[in-house]
Amino acid sequence: MSYLNISNVTLSFGGLNALSNVNMHIEKGLITSIIGPNGAGKTSILNCISGFYHPTRGTILYGNHNLTHASPHQVSAMGIARAFQNLELFRGLSVLDNLMLARHIKLDYNFFQAVIFRGKASRVEAENRAAVEEVIDFMELEAHRKSLVGNLSYGVQKKVEVARALTLEPDLLLLDEPMAGMNIEEKEDIVRFIMDIKKERGITVVLVEHDLGVVMDISDRIHVLDFGQVIGSGRPHEIAADQRVIKAYIGEA
């Protein structure tokens, strides 16, 4: 059943349309990939879903929630988390501290309870620490938990970016090119985690990715953007045979 519905979404910057009448339906429990050439509007659609951009026209519905004009923190509170294409980590903090900071929306004690740090504040902090430690274990980051993020390899930092999104315990996870700049071994590692996120944690995944081999292997459904418009939607084998998609990627003879 479709539970994220993007209907006739247009996003304009002055006279330029980054997105034009985009329609997408994301089904619960699946890995849905959004692909397209550079500048096709892939990140723009994620920005609209996550509240960083607001569509000029159209609507975005997530279950009973209207995301069209929601702010990023409201979207996050609704159960949607995002890992960014460009690393948005605190390089001077440890992996553990980065993940704990991501849980700030789960901290529901007040200033005075925090100062005393007994009772509710202590209990909530312990619950958040346990949730973070579980994600560290799941993402196999135990060896790096106390390491400064800035001292880690690029591939490990990308894993931390995904882990930070997972600490929010989302129902829907948006991944913006999580494998960009990785070598083959690092890509295989992330692919395995994406599959486990779906199977073991029951999280619906929306993936933006340029590696078509990965996309075709792990996606349940694919939407193809070109110049801000959807030119194809379907299962991987349907997309692979779609002439409009082939033309957009390869061109005509």
- 172-184 tens-digit pLDDT: 999 999 988 888 8
CA gap 108, 125 in Å, rounded: 10
Per DSSP, helices labelled H in 7-94 are 42-50, 72-77
Is 50 exceeded by the pLDDT of residue 1?
A: no
Is 60 exceeded by the pLDDT of residue 2?
A: no
Q: Report the share of the chain in percent with pLDDT over 90.
A: 63
Superfamily name and number for 2-79+170-250: P-loop containing nucleotide triphosphate hydrolases (3.40.50.300)
Q: Where residue 38 falls among pLDDT bands split at 50, 70, 90?
A: confident
Q: In the predicted model, what is the mean pLDDT of residues 180-198?
A: 91
Q: Where residue 211 falls among pLDDT bands split at 50, 70, 90?
A: confident
pLDDT score, position 183 = 87
pTM, two decimal places: 0.87
Which is more confident, 70 or 84? 70
List, by residue range, all CATH 3.40.50.300 domains of the chain. Answer: 2-79+170-250
Is 90 exceeded by the pLDDT of residue 109?
A: no
Is 60 exceeded by the pLDDT of residue 111?
A: no
DSSP code per residue over 83-132: E-SS----TTSBHHHHHHHHGGGG----HHHHHHT-THHHHHHHHHHHHH
**62 close to 172: Cβ distance less than 8 angstroms:** yes
Rg (CA), the chain: 19
